[in-house]
Amino acid sequence: MRDAGLRTGLGWDLHRLVAGRPLVVGGVEIPHDRGEDGHSDGDALLHAITDALLGAAALGDIGEMFPPSDPAWKDADSRKLLAAALFRVRAAGWEIVNVDAVIALERPRILPHREAIRASIAETLGVGPERVSVKAKTSEGVDAVGSGEAIACWATCLLISAEAPV
Ligand code: MG
């Protein structure tokens, strides 16, 4: 079968929001009265992006690569997890074309932080910010996100074979 040298990936993650934890979104700490619960820093956006990349390269998922049972990842900066996953994706012969993501969070508003989040993700991925899109939605007061109990994130990515002609 003809192979176009392209792969898409999808990632999703949700973390509970609790008092006494920082709210870290895409590697950027956002002032809020609660933050993500989790074994690592709980950065749901970076976890979704990590899974999108691993998924596109068919390299498994974040839970497999960084087991919650492993104390090495306790309170870990999720940028390190994403960079480690990207290293594997590149080693398998893939480069990033683009990443697109949606953050579902009732409050605080993400818009004032969006460009910082895009820049942070782009820097971690080693690509220009024009290849990284971040959008934010609320849940209209419905469900765990709507009640402020959780943050949920979706991400997609496109990978191109490093051997593909430019
Ligand atoms: Mg997670």
Residue 90 is assigned to a structural domain of this protein: yes
Convert the pLDDT of each residue in 99-125 to its tens digit.
999 999 999 999 999 999 999 999 999
Identify the domain containing residue 47 by its residue range.
6-161
How many domains would you assign to the chain?
1
How far apart are the CA of 1 and the centre of ligand 1, in A? Answer: 36
Question: How close is the Cα of 118 to the center of ligand 1, in Å?
Answer: 19
The one-character DSSP state at 21 is S
16 alpha carbon – ligand 1 mean position (Å): 10
114: CATH: 3.30.1330.50
94: pLDDT strictly greater than 70: yes
CA dist., res. 31 & res. 27, Å (int): 13
pLDDT digits (tens, 9 = 90+) for 13-44: 999 999 999 999 999 999 999 999 988 899 99
Centroid of ligand 1 to alpha carbon of 160 (angstroms): 26
| Number of residues written out for the chain | 166
Tell me if 1 is assigned to some domain. Answer: no
CA of 3 to the centre of ligand 1 (A): 32
Condensed to tens digits (0 to 9), the pLDDT of residues 115-157 reads 999 999 999 999 999 999 999 999 999 999 999 999 999 999 9
